Structure 1
Amino acid sequence: MSGAGLRGVSAEQDGRFRNKELRLMKQMKFPEEYKTKVDLSRVNWDVMKPWIAKRVTELLGIEDDVLIGYIFGQLEGQKTIDPRKLQINLTGFLEKNTSLFCKELWTLLSSAALSSTGIPQKFLDEKAEELRLRREEDERIQARLRAEQAKRDEENRQANAARRDLEDSVHRLRREDDGGRFEERRRGDDDDGVSRQVV
């Protein structure tokens, strides 16, 4: 016996499994977003992969590298995929969160496929908002630094003015003091020209 009749078949080729999948698809309700066909080859996976990993970790509460890799395997290298099948395939892993995850994912993939960059519009908007907030924060910091510098400059100006006033007062007192000594010397002179200075 050559065993030619015992070749294996994949689950997709085996009618028993395909029928179960079709029955499940008919029984389950799927979001309207799944009706949108998505060209996965237009998606920028370098941007999508981190989102998928982060979202799966948020939903599970732990990082599951196997599941994340499985999802990547389902999506990468495909021209298109039936989102209903993806949801059915992930139900055993994500359980009650499967529908939410798949709907979010499909919405992002649809947006990414329509974008010239392959990046979902939501991500572009979030990045633009992040840059706007960062720019506003930088402007606030610069304004605060300018205000602090202006305050320091004003304090320095006042300190310099006070120092000049003090120096002027000291010079004036010295002049007055020197002038008083000169008067005393003049008054203390006798007829013989001898000074009787009082110190």
Structure 2
Amino acid sequence: MSPSKRAVDLLGAALLLLLLAPALPVLLTAVAVSARGPVLVPKPCTGAGGRPFRMLTFRVAPGTRTGRLLHRHYLDHLPQLVNVLRGEMSLVGPRPLPVDRILTGSARARTSVRPGITGLWQTGGRSGLPWEEMAVQDLHYVREHWLGMDLKILVRTLSTARRGRPARAATAGAPARVPRPQGLRQA
């Protein structure tokens, strides 16, 4: 990881946590009262170099208003800013894989960089993309990432989160519409 990418990660994560500090007690309370169980859920994932780590997320109670709100605005991912500060994740990169996923081929190549809270496929299709297309976009990021690309992805993510767009699911039998990854880089 380049020093400039790590600096952006540290500065961005710290700034976001500072800006969100007044809202965090409200979010924590909303999560706590929406359903039983812990507020934070550590998910075992594979990080850079295949090293395991525990990715933090807010517990989302499916079917509750709080759960839908958190998921729709990506607020369930806020605890991952702590993972960024720890150096386990980056703000932008391929999504971390579960530790039980066998790391071969494209899955292994994705671990050559730190996993991210957001990335190309999250800003261009999310759950509507099949695994193969997600892997193509993540591998494109691994090969071509640069600071300008990261900043564009972050702006797209913040815009999407602010509008509260739900995850798009592919219509049965119809291919998911996928934006061209090369459109992010300016010549």
Pairwise TM-score range, normalised by the shorter structure: under 0.3
Determine which structure has the larger strand proportion and give its number.
Answer: 2
* TM-score of the two chains, using structure 2 as the length reference: 0.23
Mark the structure with the bigger radius of gyration.
1
Determine which structure has the larger helix proportion and give its number.
Answer: 1
* TM-score of the two chains, using structure 1 as the length reference: 0.22
